[in-house]
Amino acid sequence: MIPTVPVVFSGDDKEGVVVKTSLVDAYSASKILKNGLPYLVYGTAWKKGESARLVQEAIQHGFRFIDTAGQPKHYNEGGVGDGIVAAIQELSLSRDDLWIQTKFSPIGGQDPTNIPYDPDADVEDQVLQSFEASLKNLKTKYIDSLVLHSPYHTMEDTMKAWRIFEQLVDEGKVLQIGISNCYDIEVFQKLYGAARIKPSVLQNRFYSDSGFDIALREFCAEKGVIHQSFWTLTASRQALARPEIAKIADGKDLTPQTLMYAFMMSMGHTPLDGTTSKVHMMEDIAVMERIQSEEEIFNPSEMEEIAFLLGITK
């Protein structure tokens, strides 16, 4: 278990409380991965000019896994890089203490006035141009995880992008590759079957519109693919407000929100966490530590009850 110590942070804390947080230099992403421990990923979408500050704060409070994208429409990738550099310098971290994931976003997901590559270039060149921009923005020589932000409309174009992803792995510039916003199991299985280097990550919304990806999550578990969830709290806001959830959470010394993260990690999944609150950062890291310590927060019947209350049914 990651050791905890009382820490008082300087500066304004709007919540005005002192809580316990992880000893920030006691753990690292490389150790977490080596030991096969569950973890949360700090999500940086929609943080705009606050990206650098929030990323630095997230790392200060114990986050070691950071997610962003080469998509200026929704991400400030350069700000994320500034926050990472500031945290590394402040905390005397090494690069492998952190895990950085970014995405190549096809042109359909870009703001036409701000695209990090030549929109008239071939798919292959677009991927390479976007990747070089990401390295510059994130101020790093390599990316831990590169994700295709969504499949193309054709498998041909999807595979064109994927072959460049594989090339970047071969060159040692990327350590693993994956895909996001892929809800059709047949598309994911075709990609998996055609890939020379298999996807290590599938990042999808966790919500009822996709049936909570039941079949996809089973396939990922079978193949050893990490299922990353986003919208994990937002999409289940109504369910998490139910008194039954509050009762279970109270009995576990959790909030409904940290209960949801504990539930996801207990299932073997990896949630993205985009909180902007210092207190919530600390609460979320604290529940991650409990899961990493192999505490069995929920028994099987409680897991089934939570799934039912969330609407997850086969």
Could you tell me the pLDDT band of residue 27, with boundaries at 50, 70 and 90?
confident
Whether 54 has a pLDDT exceeding 90, the answer reads yes
CA–CA separation, 294 and 302 (whole Å)? 17
Could you tell me the CA-to-CA distances from 232 to 132, 292, 298 in Å, in that order? 30, 20, 18
State the CATH number of the domain containing residue 293. Answer: 3.20.20.100
Q: What is the pLDDT of residue 16?
A: 42
Could you tell me the CA-to-CA distances from 197 to 27, 202, 229, 299 in Å, in that order? 29, 14, 22, 37
Tally of domains within the chain: 1
**Bridge partner list, 20:** 6
Helices (runs of H) and strands (runs of E) counted in the chain = 12, 10
Q: What is the pTM of this model?
A: 0.91
| pLDDT tens digits for range 180-191 | 999 999 999 999
Whether 246 has a pLDDT exceeding 70, the answer reads yes
CA–CA separation, 240 and 69 (whole Å)? 28
Neighbours of 112 (CB within 10 A): 8
Taking phi over 0 as left and psi of -120 to 50 as alpha, with beta for the rest, 64 belongs to alpha
Domain, as residue range, for 289: 4-310
Long-range pairs of 273-278 with CB within 8 A, sequence gap ≥ 24: 273/40, 273/41, 273/42, 273/43, 273/63, 273/232, 274/42, 274/43, 274/44, 274/45, 274/46, 274/47, 274/230, 276/47, 276/50, 276/54, 277/15, 278/9, 278/13, 278/15, 278/57, 278/61
Residues 6+ apart with CB under 8 A from 18: 6, 8
Tokens, residue 108: 């359909």
Whether 238 has a pLDDT exceeding 90, the answer reads yes
Quote the percentage of the chain above a pLDDT of 70. Answer: 91
CA–CA separation, 54 and 296 (whole Å)? 31
Cβ(72)–Cβ(111) below 8 Å: yes
Q: What is the pLDDT of residue 201?
A: 98
